[in-house]
Structure 1
Amino acid sequence: MNILDDLKLQYRLGGIAMRVIYWNIACFIVSLIFFYQFSIGQFAFPSWLALSSDPQVFMYKPWTFLTYAFFHDGFFHLLFNMMVLNFASTLFLTYFTQKQYLGLYILSAIFAGIAFALGFYFSNISASIVGASAAIMSILVAVTTYSPLMGVRLFLFGNVKLWHITAVILVLDLMQFRLDNTGGHISHLAGALFGFIYIKLLQNGTDLSIIVSKTLDFFANLFRKSPTTPFKKVHKNYKKPTERSTSRIVTKDKTQQQIDEILDKISQSGYDCLTKEEKEFLFKAGK
């Protein structure tokens, strides 16, 4: 199995967190091809992707309140964000569902984008931003709000509490607020605020992520073909061969059992622990 097949399999089995990381990486590759200006060594994102604080721009391109959260202005910007996203995602999905994860990512990006646009508009400043930092901060703060005393083992630092890590990141954002990238820091803090609000509402019985889940389900059902029931001939005296039916069920059960065993192995030790044969078996089974 080649590298491309390996990546496809990880995408299928990695869950929503892995897919969001893949989406961010894919968007970065696209931006390198189409929006990177090698002559000046900078990205020039178009107004229909980056989020602008100018009402004359975002009023006619409202989708930019979401698209900006999948593009990054540099390799290290992407690398750091994806490292923190992977860390925060693992912790968040320990307690919450994948639908809640995707809902929080999308809603927090929109909320942070609105906060950025309003902040710069009332400051009479015109600028644009890209980056997933606000959504990532929301996921990190959400899981910290839910379980602040969770123990996390860090290289060189040993065991620390989750709230210590989140507090340091928030303090660093506050310290840089007036120095550079003010718009970015506004969106980061807005994302953190949304993550806190989301958990508090969830603990009171209100799950905001349902908004995203129902919207996605609506569009999925809209484009999904309704199942048609084919015409069947009924023969009263017909009897299915018992042996063939039993054999087919046994074969299916053995295959499913092998898939379940491999998935259990992934959940315990990670995808990299699989042998080459197990990876190829999963890839063929997923086709």
Structure 2
Amino acid sequence: MIALLLILVNVLVSYKGFKDHAFFDRYKFSVDSIRLYKDYKRLITSDFLHVSWTHLLFNMLSLYIFSSSVEAYLGSAYFLLIYVVSIIGCNLLTLLIHWRDGDYSSVGASGAVSGVIFAAIALFPGMRMGFFFLPFFNIPAWIFGVLYVAFSIWGIKSKSDNIGHEAHLGGALVGMGMALLIHPEAFAQNYLPILLITIPAIVFLYLIVKRPHLLLVDNFYFKTHSDHYSVDHKYNEERVTRQQEIDRLLDKISKRGYNSLTAKEKETLKRHSRSAS
């Protein structure tokens, strides 16, 4: 029932986004909006938006196929926990990798769906998994997991397409990790395939954080980056902060009048006005 409710919410929110571009822009994942404006709700809301009916249908069909086994095995509450935590995990990894790419944005439930799929793989690594484009060909789930992680790592490093590989990888790892925390016996029973899936991904994440230059991942704000870019980045953050302060003061004036400002606020407004002139 939780899976069906999530599908319904995805359909309704996505449909609203299809019709209302302002709504879509307000709730999509956006690096600048999250980093500079602290609009953290986008870490959740972006996963309920999609760019097209095809995008939505593919994600919801995948969610429907894999949700039943996970929800039935762990229960609805734990299934919902895996879904929500996978959303956060996929978007945090995306934010980490695109930390300095302010224009980067994304939408879609792929990260959360990957979390559900890899929770199922952790619990049932021997189940057979097929492909939409090859309906009569299937492989053990753990082999699919290894190939999926390898493809995601290649996609992140190569930047050769417009797919959110970062979200896929982040959601997959968090979903698998949550399933193992909820049902630790699964690791004892299936430790070999789980390690084959997770070790390459963990090594890759370590390199992203500690050795980003080796992977040509240059978006995480790192102390080894040039001073010129650091100063420019700092200036942009200060500019946004200054504008937010001006907006707050102007909003206060419009509601209560200029005399409602404190002496310090009046001085702040004058200082900002002089710097902008």
TM-score when normalising by structure 2: 0.58
Task: Decide which of 104, 116, 131 is 1:127's aligned counterpart.
Answer: 104
- Asked if the contact 2:18/2:52 (under 8 Å) is kept, the reply is no
Mean Cα deviation higher: 149-158 or 110-119: 149-158
SS, match of residue 45 in structure 1: helix
Equivalent positions of 1:170-185 (< 5 A) are 170-177=149-156, 178-181=159-162, 184-185=164-165
Task: Decide which of 181, 187, 202 is 2:167's aligned counterpart.
Answer: 187
From the superposition, tell whether residues 204 and 145 of structure 1 become closer, same or farther in structure 2 (CA, over 3 Å).
closer
From the superposition, tell whether residues 66 and 156 of structure 1 become closer, same or farther in structure 2 (CA, over 3 Å).
closer
- Give the AA of the match of 2:15: I
SS, match of residue 149 in structure 1: coil
Q: Percent identity?
A: 26
Equivalent in the alignment of 1:209: none
- Asked if the contact 1:58/1:64 (under 8 Å) is kept, the reply is no
**Displacement of 1:112 after TM fit?**
1.4
**Separation in 1, partners of 2:155, 2:80:** 29
Equivalent in the alignment of 1:84: 62
**Displacement of 1:203 after TM fit?**
3.4
Equivalent in the alignment of 2:188: none
Give the aligned length: 181
**Separation in 1, partners of 2:5, 2:36:** 27
SS, match of residue 54 in structure 1: helix
Cα offsets for 1:128-175 (capped at 9, x unmatched) = 111100000011101101220124577742664222444444444334
Equivalent positions of 1:113-124 (< 5 A) are 113-121=91-99, 123-124=100-101
Equivalent in the alignment of 2:127: 150
From the superposition, tell whether residues 29 and 56 of structure 1 become closer, same or farther in structure 2 (CA, over 3 Å).
closer
Q: Give the CA RMSD over aligned residues.
A: 2.6
Equivalent positions of 1:1-287 (< 5 A) are 15-35=1-21, 45-46=24-25, 48-54=26-32, 59-121=37-99, 123-151=100-128, 156-157=135-136, 160-177=139-156, 178-181=159-162, 184-204=164-184
**Displacement of 1:111 after TM fit?**
1.7
Q: Which runs of 4+ in 1 moved over 6 A?
A: none
- Give the AA of the match of 2:69: L
- Give the AA of the match of 1:197: G
SS, match of residue 39 in structure 2: coil
**Separation in 2, partners of 1:174, 1:131:** 19
In structure 1, runs of 5+ residues without a counterpart are: 1-14, 37-43, 206-287
**Separation in 2, partners of 1:157, 1:167:** 20
SS, match of residue 176 in structure 1: helix
Higher percent of residues as helix: 2
From the superposition, tell whether residues 56 and 131 of structure 1 become closer, same or farther in structure 2 (CA, over 3 Å).
closer
**Separation in 2, partners of 1:130, 1:105:** 16
From the superposition, tell whether residues 55 and 170 of structure 1 become closer, same or farther in structure 2 (CA, over 3 Å).
same
